[in-house]
Structure 1
């Protein structure tokens, strides 16, 4: 890239992606930064995950991986600020340039920069990045229902800027006063002066809509001391602003610039929106003064084949699928997403709940893997753990604060899954992070997600209730949403109609809305989880997706394929061109057709191969879709393909017994030296780690969602999964009553313990179900016996445990599952 000249001896900012041309190998390679590049390393492009190709297998590679690349530096750049910007690396990385350590970052979900100004020379420079995804007791998250795969799984860019410049993400825009007639616009511009002398800067800004300038903010002059930074406050106004709303997501662009002695030294453009909103405890949510019922979905970032390493184009498609459903909000579960995700929410018109990764998961409570207590159990680990969340919160807010779609900063999810001895510390940290978020950004409220147990719901401005919290907290007296509710489960097309749970189908005026769990299948360390998506791991809509769209938008479902025999293939793509900078891809779909050209449910293995061009699938130039990996169902399969090499890309699909199908796409971008030569593609990870088998001491049912046939006032079902002496009591005293704790994931179990409030005077039956619907008896008991019982049996897989009463119910104090 040729830097743009803006004045005598002055160049404006350069920013370019460096996603192509990387080498990679598994392992720590402790001396690699001091050694010559190994030609046996593999060729990869970014974004990249340790888990490629990822078919959602219940295991992940845990260890190290190293990335290496030549980085060209123009001689004219020397003496300026030169940095590498990483949008996300999971979860610890150290960066070396020309054998020299230049920076380290801990935390897997937030962007950061590494200053390489003093380490580079003109021409080619050797960059090595050592990454690990080792579980760390002192680094959030310590637990969670996800995969935690390692890698440089988001974009990397090179930034070159003046020594007197606007800091990285250094323009914050707010609209302190908004009406339909007028909006004030405040811009806080952070200036860095790296020069050895003070400089007097002139800071100015212009506001534009997509086609023209609409306002000029009066400039401010300020002297910045040597080697320091300062924030310059600008203020202007917009007359009759166009308000941002999901139905008309209008955005403005603010361009800030700094000049020294009449010469522009740097400028930065950011988008923002004009809107105002309010969460209320009694009337729900309001946007621009009008009531808006929030209805949305939770979204994880990983996906079929590529794992966490999705492109910006894949993010754009994910957001578009939620918009297509007729929903109006996305919860970024349960970590900060790529800032481009919020940008797409801005552009397409979806509100966004941006969340921090203070994250818990119930069950084993085992140190050493992501089933641990959400808050550290060892006092020595506490300071570093807490600081990791403070740092991540600062990074999330700094890089995403200008997005109008974001209406709350959420502190985490189900952190109540912390060891009993540290639960007060977990709550204190939650309160501290709530206060910090409002200090960093006073314009947005702070939410806490998954607060249906242990009193976390009063710690933030907004309470997000998951699962049975929807019925446990009726009119709670604080602004609230149902932040998770379930309604579908399993691979393949599934059922058409969604089965509502915990009464979420009823809309209450005091509830701001509800957010479905979840939009897409995801990979997880938790057995039996991750299959609750409205679309599958490869982003193919299930039947339930079309049911939701019909409910929300009135669009009738398509004609679903019937069983039959395929006689032909159809190969198609969502785009004809692919950028070669790692930001884009093509979604390739293969359909099996009958003699009438209709898709038919004849599920067979599909082999996709790039027979011309540099295109790559997650496994290299070919990829296999099959029923065995749940990547083919209803007679079709889909996967995303990229290319880092320009030119024609001819893709062939082959199914045994059918004629092949082909499609030609075009990869667009500059040709680079060495491209088109032989490439070495990485095999799957050389070893895979599975969760430790060491049992924890926590019941698998503790603090989990509970369903009941009926509940007497003051005797909620959740009492039966929480120690402390409170009981569950059925409201009706008649045959057929039951209580059913969910384990949330499919676990192997072999023991159930029940504490009745009194020795049972009515018969009872213990049952389990793998799918929460089809129950199989484990134990049947007649009246009498001890108040506390222990039932042992051969190991079986269970998602739900149920205690059923064929005559009349007995009161229950606690149910424990192991």
Structure 2
């Protein structure tokens, strides 16, 4: 039996550009040295703009003599967003879709000895490829792990073991394993397929062997069944996992074996009583998590994923929503291991606003009919890949179809809903054991298309007791850089608990990088994973842990440098998180935010910018007297890091990089990306307020504030009282340059009214005061361009019913 899988994250070279024909040429010595995971935009300090174009990667892989004749493949766990793979100049295949794993069969293209691997990547906006829009950055690159896999011609397929638990109780659990066996031989093969169940300490059950004949060059799915007495149930408080080891043999000779982990649990979302796990009610309280991070962007290591999950667990939360795309398979594995439920989401994604074609501000669903077939297939393909690679994780309690796909052009909204329904049905067909959610479904009737409705923002108050299983899939409470306020300010009444609501998911755990200027600053921790004060507020509320003593202004005299680990693996899966603190003469951290410079003075350790990096207030990478950065190493040896700051005693730290010995390498690192794409703006005709969240002073039933941002609905907002001071505010969600506001009243404006704008939701500036001089139902206000995130209509004497508020 032969099966080998090893990471090949090290020893790549890279160059920006498309480089036509380079796949068939000798390697260019002028290319730059990189390790994986890698992003086009390093270092990443959360700048709004990013490089959009091509980048090419190259390295050699050695094929041993005994591998020839076996199945050999490259596994990519994530490339954004289109990849062409070549071996020895020969085209192997193309994969489109930036968030799901895939393999490339290179068996027939390799030779004994060294083989050239060439990967051309682009992150060009593609109208036929999801996502077409989203509040995020879409950096290109091979930003997740790459592995080389070698296996027998008769083998278990890639991610070919699916485990379900059709019956679970505390006394007995049934196990059903689907094992997909491949026969690449030119003749039929009779195989025996068996499986053993074990927990960390012992074997607990054997599944009876099944014998099947597989035709030449084909595959079959073999079903195995068994049971376990008195299973230990998986729960966030006791995340116990079992292993299933499946084996394939031919004529008594083992040909392949693979393992997968799973857990015994059962759960239910209900419309009237909330969520239940293992028969007990569990109030879901979680956070949304994006994958990008300070310095390294999307290209995080497994160690960084492990820390992210641990931070959410440390808060006392029990759920993570993988916003808004399939995450690294290791993310779900860590949720399994650490004990967090996971909402795994597809990237059918909208952002709203101008709906401008050509960049990720476009309609979530294509507006050109010619783009529809490929776009729909890109989501179907990604859904299949997500479910196949994630299906055995006990932490996953739903497949979600996307987020705010209602931000599609009105003329195609019916098609967007039809595709959503089709994807729901496909997910249920691929995995009947889990319900399917529709995230961000607070507008246009998307909420009833799945088994679970996820309501964002003002959906928390628009959909009270909706009669279907539901969660608040996003709610806000903090904003801005730096330490922020301690107490979280919840919006739209989300602080209230209701028996019919399964839970609520905070937006969001960490700051993130976005194409929308001013967005991405709602984290409980910042981009560099430094906990803000609100992080400790949540931890105190959920776990009863008092906050630390927050640093105060003082006079720093020295630096203190620490690491979360003493060793770094050199295979690209790990790193060391370095924390630098500015301390006074007593060793107490003080608020003295001068810039700190890190340097690798010994070893081949790398920061995202190379052998040195500077953190400081200007890049919002150091505040409150501290900053953090992750260090990697792709060669073994001592790593000595030095931190310096003007006028302070320096600090040093010694770590060890662990891995196979290799010759020293003089790293030649890529420069900054050669150019950045400027997103089109000012071209769209859609109101920036259309379908956006609305906050109000009060509202009559059936006349909620959300009616005022529905386009052409004929509904309207009406205040619950006739008292002075009532108001309605549309949240554009991101700062925009606005220059026109239109108000459509549902009744002639018989009382004064004002229009105000705000960037932060606290300080408002008046744009216009309307007097009851005209009986016209519409008011058109033009003014010099100004930046605004909120537009508010206030009524100093008596409220007026508002049918629609439009912002341009």
How far, CA to CA, are the matches of 2:763 and 2:694 in structure 1?
Answer: 17
Q: Deviation of residue 69 (structure 1)?
A: 0.2
How far, CA to CA, are the matches of 2:144 and 2:179 in structure 1?
Answer: 27
Aligned to 2:649: 659
1:294-693 aligned within 5 A: 294-672=284-662, 675-693=663-681
Contact 1:80 1:162 in 2 (8 A): yes
Query: Residue 181 of structure 1 is aligned with which of 144, 153, 171?
Result: 171
Aligned to 2:129: 139
SS in 1 for 2:427: helix
1:436-466 CA distances to partner (integer Å, 9 max, x unpaired)?
Answer: 0000000000000000000000000000000
Question: Does 1:156 find its partner at 2:146?
Answer: yes
How far, CA to CA, are the matches of 1:766 and 1:476 in structure 2?
Answer: 33
How far, CA to CA, are the matches of 2:65 and 2:87 in structure 1?
Answer: 16
Contact 2:356 2:681 in 1 (8 A): no
Question: Does 1:781 find its partner at 2:778?
Answer: no
Aligned to 1:720: 708
How far, CA to CA, are the matches of 1:54 and 1:748 in structure 2?
Answer: 25
Query: Residue 215 of structure 1 is aligned with which of 205, 215, 231?
Result: 205
Aligned to 1:735: 724
Q: Deviation of residue 85 (structure 1)?
A: 0.1
SS in 1 for 2:377: helix
Contact 1:759 1:784 in 2 (8 A): no
SS in 2 for 1:457: helix
How far, CA to CA, are the matches of 2:546 and 2:736 in structure 1?
Answer: 37
How far, CA to CA, are the matches of 2:496 and 2:165 in structure 1?
Answer: 35
1:600-637 CA distances to partner (integer Å, 9 max, x unpaired)?
Answer: 00001111010000100001111110100000100111
Question: Does 1:204 find its partner at 2:198?
Answer: no
How far, CA to CA, are the matches of 2:696 and 2:673 in structure 1?
Answer: 44
Question: Does 1:194 find its partner at 2:184?
Answer: yes
SS in 1 for 2:133: coil
How far, CA to CA, are the matches of 1:98 and 1:592 in structure 2?
Answer: 52
How far, CA to CA, are the matches of 2:112 and 2:318 in structure 1?
Answer: 49
Question: Does 1:798 find its partner at 2:795?
Answer: no
| TM-score normalised by length of structure 1 | 0.98
Query: Residue 54 of structure 1 is aligned with which of 18, 22, 44?
Result: 44
Query: Residue 759 of structure 2 is aligned with which of 770, 785, 794?
Result: 770
Aligned to 2:740: 751
SS in 2 for 1:615: coil
Structure 1 range deviating more: 687-696 or 699-708? 687-696
Structure 2: gaps spanning 5 or more residues:
none
Aligned residues: CA RMSD: 0.6
How far, CA to CA, are the matches of 1:413 and 1:528 in structure 2?
Answer: 20
How far, CA to CA, are the matches of 1:385 and 1:613 in structure 2?
Answer: 47
How far, CA to CA, are the matches of 1:454 and 1:702 in structure 2?
Answer: 11
How far, CA to CA, are the matches of 2:625 and 2:769 in structure 1?
Answer: 44
Aligned to 2:262: 272
How far, CA to CA, are the matches of 2:773 and 2:408 in structure 1?
Answer: 36
Contact 1:339 1:399 in 2 (8 A): yes
Contact 1:610 1:650 in 2 (8 A): yes
Q: Deviation of residue 694 (structure 1)?
A: 4.1
How far, CA to CA, are the matches of 1:698 and 1:361 in structure 2?
Answer: 12
1:518-540 CA distances to partner (integer Å, 9 max, x unpaired)?
Answer: 00000000111100000000000
Moved over 6 A (4+): none
How far, CA to CA, are the matches of 1:610 and 1:528 in structure 2?
Answer: 33
Contact 1:88 1:338 in 2 (8 A): yes
Contact 1:163 1:194 in 2 (8 A): yes
Contact 1:750 1:796 in 2 (8 A): yes
Shift of the 208–615 alpha-carbon distance from structure 1 to 2, 3 Å rule, reads same
